[in-house]
Structures are given as structure tokens and as C-alpha cells.
Amino acid sequence: MKKATILVLLAVLLAPAVFANGKQETKTPSVITPQAALPSNVRSIVVGIPEEFGDLSPFGGNSAGRNYVKYNLWETLAVYSAFGQTIDEMDLILAKDVQIINDVTSRITIYDYIYDSEGNHITANDVKWSYEQAAACGLFQKVTTNLKSIKVVDNYTVELVLKKDAIGMLEYMLSYVAIASQKAYKSSPDKMSTKPVTTGPYKVIQAISGSKLVLQKNADYWQKDPSKRAYIAKQPLDTITFLVIKEPAQMAIALETGAIDIASNIEPSEVSRFMNPDGTGKNGYQVSNSYGGMATMLNFNCSDASPLSNELLRKAVCYAIDQKGIVEGALRGHGTPIGTCASNVSSDYNPEWDVDYYNYNPQKAKELLAKAGYKPNELTLSIMIQQTAEFPMVAQLIQAYLADVGIKATILAYDNALFSQYRFQPDLFDMMISIMGTSDYVVSAWDLQFNGADTPKGASACFVKDLKLQELLDRAKGIHTHNQKTVNAFADYLEEKAYSYGLYVKSNYCVANSKVAKIVRHPFGHVIAGACSYR
């Protein structure tokens, strides 16, 4: 990239974003004051999270903020304790036993003494209802797409049947659906969105939307045998307070002043305050870095509602963007480009994909734009983002790269709730910056984004209806057909059609003060305050 272009892009980064309404509000950061000291016999910790925790119900829409708190509240049948585990390696929680019947069928037996935070007895009927609710609510695409049936065998046993065999799918199913009492849920006036009746080790005692969440240890937590508890249910603390701190500088200041004890996701621009050049923590702090299974990508709206239904135009956008420039400019170098729409830490990720993946080529982008039928500066596209510390900077860089090749772009920034709603509406955006995670395989991430089976508008990520794409995906993810050849075939076709553009995986830093003896994170990268150990 030429030096002049770099200066232009840096200037764009420092300038206000060009949003759809032509202006951006500037908010004065609030002062985060240290917490009042608690009695010495009360073990408490304060965690800073960069996004709102949102809907606290068992079936609330997935978001980065919710992921920081949900493992303390809701329990699933099983949970990953390391990246890429099989069922035999996972921590069982509500499940006492998992029996594999065949490639698509499993029989799960839960403990017969599970009770939620209000004393409701959890049985197989609640498990069946929870899975059906998750599949029907429309917020868990993978569950909706892959769950064929779940039936009650006896009071504490269910039989779960998938529509197709898929590598890693059963593990995902067991770890993703929160189990709740049907009776308690239906009795809740707001469907537990603010006052959940939880199955987990903690319960909510205060929830201030967009600001603060206070959890208290459930003294009557159902699993009394410590040897049978999952790692997320150790209950080392009496209370956990989550403070929403969206400004990266304020997050760092809060940690320095003792207003928080853990910064769950501190931006790379601030981490040098606490981290030595070799990655170790400075005096009094410890730093944890994780790439995990989360990848950031630019999903294209391939429906007839957007100009990006044009394949040549999608490719023009891809060649116009410099992945390395985004990593350097928006992430300060704390990340790495990827060669497909999935994390490069996945076991079936092929490093060869990185070599020729839409290498930055503005001239080629201009040629493709012309072939697509557009003159320079004739076309305006919209980029929808979730309002976080990171994505506005990424969007501004993409905006500048597109301007260099003659494509105008506006940025549509929304909070968690609106973003979760609008992402499924193809008439509201042209491109969407999105994060997609996987428990191990790239095919698992692809399945979430591009599986169009049983969805009337095709894959929710890009609204594609492509039978060949579906056939290649089914082969790549099949238990008996998953291999490097079938995985490569899907990756090659996805790149050829340019339905989505994999951008990068980001260094995800968590920093804690001296109260924390060991930081524990979910394999996906989220710090789990109730699983950490403390001094």
C-alpha cells in the first residue's frame, strides 16, 4: 500500500464515522468509581465487559455481552472445557450419561435431583421443551436447522435425533441449549429476560439494562457433589458484579483504579498498560490472550434486495480490501488475517488457503467494478455493524478502501438488540461485519453461516440459495465424508462465489488484578468469572 494511502486511512480512522444520518454522537465517558469494600468473609469480584449483557432469558439472542454472563446463570447438558473436545472429553453438567445410538441418534440421561433457583424440579419434559423452544424461537439457527426430534423416554431420559450426521454436531447440540423449567418460564411476565429463574450456580439479584448486573451464589445449587460439578460451577465467589464499560480507555482506567478486578475483553490499544512486550503481565496483573474459535468476516447480502447479488461486484469489494491493513489499523497488529470464513485455529483449517485469498489488488477491484456494470462513485453500499469498540474502526477502514476503488459506503451502527433483529432482514443492509465461532472445525463455522437447508431465505448470514454450496457443505461436514479433500472443495467454491469474505481472527486479551489467581476462559474466548480461582 502506498504511503499516501496509509495516511488517508489513518486520517479516516481518527475522524468521525460517516453513518447513515451523516453524523455521530460523541459521548463523554462516565467515571467508574471503585466499589465499596465488602466484609472480609464475603468473596466478591467485579468484571468489566465491553458490551451490554442483553436478554438474560435461556433463549435470548446470542451476543458478545451475553456470552460473558450466561455460563454463570444457565446450564446445558454438557460444556466444552477445551477447544475441539469430543463428547467423551467434555464436562457433563445436567447430563449424567450420554449414549450414542448411531450417527444421528443419542440417548441422554440427566440427574434426577436437578432443581432451579426457585426449587422447580427439572425433568426430561423440561429438556424436551427447552430444545423445542430453542429450535422454534429463530435465534439458534444451528439448532433449528439440525434438530429433527427430541422425545421423552422416561422421567430423566430423552432421545435426541439429528436430521443429518455432521462432525461435531452432537457436541454442539449438548453444549448450546440452556435448560429451563417450562413452568417457571411460562409464569414469567417477561419470559425471564430480566429476572431469570436459573439452573446455574448463580442467580440474578440486580439487573440494570446496559449498565450493571449483579449475581449471587445460589446456596441451594442442585449439584452438591463437588466431584460431579463442571468447571464452570465451582462457585468460588459469593457475588459477581458485571459493569458494562464500552469505552476501551475507561475499561483500562477502571482496572488501574480498582473499580473492576477483571477486564474481560480489553482492546489491543490499551493492553500495553498491563502487558510486557513478551506477553507476560506487568507487576500486579496477569494477561490471558486467546484467538479461540472466533473469526470476523464481511458477509454479503446476496439477495435480490442488494446490488451484491452480483458476483462480480462482491469480488470487486473483496479485492478492494487489505486484510493486513485492517489488522494493523483497527487492531494495532493484534490479530492475523484468515483465508476463509472461519478461525485458523480449527483442526481442519488449511494454511494453504491464506496464500491466494483475495490478495489486495485495487486495480483488479476497479476492473471488476466496471465489469459488474458500475462507473466510479456511482454505487453506494451500506455496511451494518454492531456498535462495539472494534467494529466502527474496521468499518471505517473498509469504507476508505472501497472509496479508493470508486465505491461509496455508509455505516449503519446498531446496539446488540437491533443488530440481532436486523441481520435477518435483507432489505436493511448490503454488507454486515459479523463474528462467527466454532468449537473446533471450520465446517462447524461454515454450517452456521451457509447451511440453507430448511430456511426459506437460505443461509441467514448472506441469504444464499445455492444447491451446489449445500451439497459441498453436506459432504464436508459429514461424519464419514469429512476430510481435507471435501473441506478444500467447499473452501474453494466459497471463495469462487464470494458469498462472504473472511477478514481476521483477533487477539482477545483478558487482564486481571492480583485478586485473581488464575484466569479461566471458555474455549471460545469468554472469561468465566465463576470458574476462575481467586486469592
pLDDT at 32 (0 to 100): 64
pLDDT at 424 over 90: no
CB atoms within 10 A of CB 43: 15
pLDDT at 379 over 80: yes
Residue 321 to residue 311: CA distance in whole angstroms: 16
Residue 495 vs residues 319, 443, 452, 498: alpha-carbon distances, Å: 12, 15, 17, 5
* Partners of 105 in the β-ladder: 161
Task: Tell me what percent of the residues of the chain surpass a pLDDT of 90.
Answer: 71
| Lowest mean pLDDT segment, chosen from 60-69, 106-115, 128-137, 324-333 | 60-69
Beta strands in 191-250 (DSSP E): 202-208, 212-217, 239-244
What number is the average pLDDT over the span 98-113? 97
- Residues 198, 218 contacting (CB under 8 angstroms): yes
> What cell was used for 47?
468484571
Which secondary structure element, helix H or strand E, spans residue 16, and what is its range? none
Residue 404 to residue 376: CA distance in whole angstroms: 10
Query: At 1, is the pLDDT very low, low, confident or very high (cuts 50, 70, 90)?
Result: very low
- Residues 107, 153 contacting (CB under 8 angstroms): yes
Residue 409 to residue 407: CA distance in whole angstroms: 7
Residue 17 to residue 115: CA distance in whole angstroms: 49
Q: Map grid coordinates 456470552 to a residue.
A: 67
Report pLDDT digits (tens) over 496-524: 999 999 999 988 899 999 999 999 998 88
- Residues 35, 139 contacting (CB under 8 angstroms): no
pLDDT at 386 over 50: yes
pLDDT at 7 over 70: no
- The pTM of this model reads 0.78
Per mean pLDDT, which of 28-32, 433-437, 522-526 is the most reliable?
A: 433-437
pLDDT at 138 (0 to 100): 81
Task: Tell me what percent of the residues of the chain surpass a pLDDT of 70.
Answer: 90
pLDDT at 447 (0 to 100): 86
Task: List the end-to-end C-alpha distance of the chain, in Å, as a whole number.
Answer: 49
**Any alpha helices (H) in 208-298, and if so which ranges?**
248-257, 268-271
Report pLDDT digits (tens) over 168-223: 999 999 999 999 999 999 999 999 999 999 999 999 999 998 899 999 999 999 99
pLDDT at 63 over 90: no
> What cell was used for 415?
446496539
What number is the average pLDDT over the span 130-157? 93
Residue 374 to residue 525: CA distance in whole angstroms: 42
Query: At 389, is the pLDDT very low, low, confident or very high (cuts 50, 70, 90)?
Result: confident
What number is the average pLDDT over the span 259-274? 91
pLDDT at 409 over 50: yes
What number is the average pLDDT over the span 39-61? 85
pLDDT at 5 (0 to 100): 52
* Partners of 14 in the β-ladder: none
Output the average pLDDT for the chain: 89
Q: 341, 530, 512: which is closest to 442 by C-alpha?
A: 341
Residue 371 to residue 66: CA distance in whole angstroms: 43
Task: Compute, in degrees rounded to 10, the torsion defined by CA atoms 428, 429, 433, 435.
Answer: 40
* Partners of 241 in the β-ladder: 46, 214
- Report which of residues 313 and 41 the model is more confident about: 313
Per-residue DSSP letter, 226: G
* Partners of 200 in the β-ladder: none
pLDDT at 47 (0 to 100): 97
Q: What is the CA radius of gyration of the chain?
A: 23
CA angle 228, 232, 237 (to 5 degrees): 105
Query: At 2, is the pLDDT very low, low, confident or very high (cuts 50, 70, 90)?
Result: very low
- Residues 319, 415 contacting (CB under 8 angstroms): no
pLDDT at 4 (0 to 100): 52
Query: At 16, is the pLDDT very low, low, confident or very high (cuts 50, 70, 90)?
Result: very low
Written as one letter, the residue type at 145 is T
Query: At 22, is the pLDDT very low, low, confident or very high (cuts 50, 70, 90)?
Result: very low
* Cβ partners under 8 Å of residue 524, min gap 6: 67, 80, 292, 293, 294, 437, 439
Query: At 319, is the pLDDT very low, low, confident or very high (cuts 50, 70, 90)?
Result: very high
* Cβ partners under 8 Å of residue 533, min gap 6: 236, 516, 517, 518, 520
